[in-house]
Amino acid sequence: MASFSRVAKAMAKAMAKAKSKAKSKVKAIVKAKAKAKSNIMLEDIADQNKSRGLEMPFGQLPVLEVDGKQLPQSFAINRYLARKFGLAGKDDFEQAQVDAFGDSIKDFLHEIMPFILVVAGHAEGDKDALYKEKFVPAAEKYFPLYKKYLKEAEYGFLFKSGVTWVDFYLAEFNFTLNNLIPDFFTSHPEFKQHVDKVHALSQLQNYLKSRPETKH
């Protein structure tokens, strides 16, 4: 399954140029697959071509580093970056709506996780049975809601005020599902249009061209 910390990474790198007056330099920290001779696991600083040993605040990734301070947990990172770069929503109430939408995607992911682990090759099981037992009921529950938001917003994003952090989250999520499930976008053209809308943002082009190709 694609790591949703990639959403935070994309937001940090893509929006930094548009918000160049921001004082803090934001650095997304991602996994490195190398070990030092001392067998200490190293972490790769995304905007630097080097690795260094790093202690995680909660003992796990993702972590965002801002001015030498570390922030763990993907949703905390997403929301911090959203507020910093104007992607949280136009006012307090819309920000709460945006957060609620993000929580619903997380709930959906939790419900389909047994299927995702198998279809992505991270666990053993009957993917066809899990698709019917886990994915289909969850999709029938959540997809009408997501499509309703896209239809009512009218502008291609989830909220009328414009792009928010949950547009990145939903687009990355559906992009991954399309890689894992044959004909996913054919069955859900609204999601394909949304992914294309997000991926067409000018601030994302450098990131999309340079990010590693992964299936999940």
Q: Which long-range contacts (CB under 8 A, 24 or more apart) does 97-104 make?
A: 97/159, 98/158, 98/159, 98/164, 98/165, 98/166, 101/149, 101/158, 101/166, 101/170, 102/75, 102/78, 102/165, 102/166, 102/169, 104/142, 104/145
Those residues with Cβ within 8 angstroms of residue 106's Cβ, 6 or more apart along the chain or in another chain: 75
Radius of gyration for the alpha carbons in the chain, expressed in angstroms and rounded:
18
Q: Which of 10-14, 30-34, 148-152 has the lowest mean pLDDT?
A: 30-34
pTM of the model: 0.74
Confidence band for 2, pLDDT divided at 50, 70 and 90: very low
Percent of the chain whose predicted confidence (pLDDT) is above 90:
58
Q: What is the pLDDT of residue 38?
A: 30
Cα separations in angstroms, 5 against 77, 147, 183:
8, 24, 26
pLDDT higher than 60, residue 21: no
Cα separations in angstroms, 126 against 62, 119, 137, 143:
30, 9, 16, 23
Q: What is the pLDDT of residue 97?
A: 97
Q: Mean pLDDT, to the nearest integer, of 38-45?
A: 38
Q: Mean pLDDT, to the nearest integer, of 38-64?
A: 56
d(CA 169, CA 161): 17
d(CA 198, CA 208): 11
Q: What is the mean pLDDT of the chain?
A: 79
Tens-digit pLDDT profile for residues 148-198: 999 999 889 999 999 999 999 999 999 999 999 999 999 999 999 999 999
Exposure of 127 in the CB half-sphere (CA atoms within 13 A): 12
Confidence band for 59, pLDDT divided at 50, 70 and 90: confident
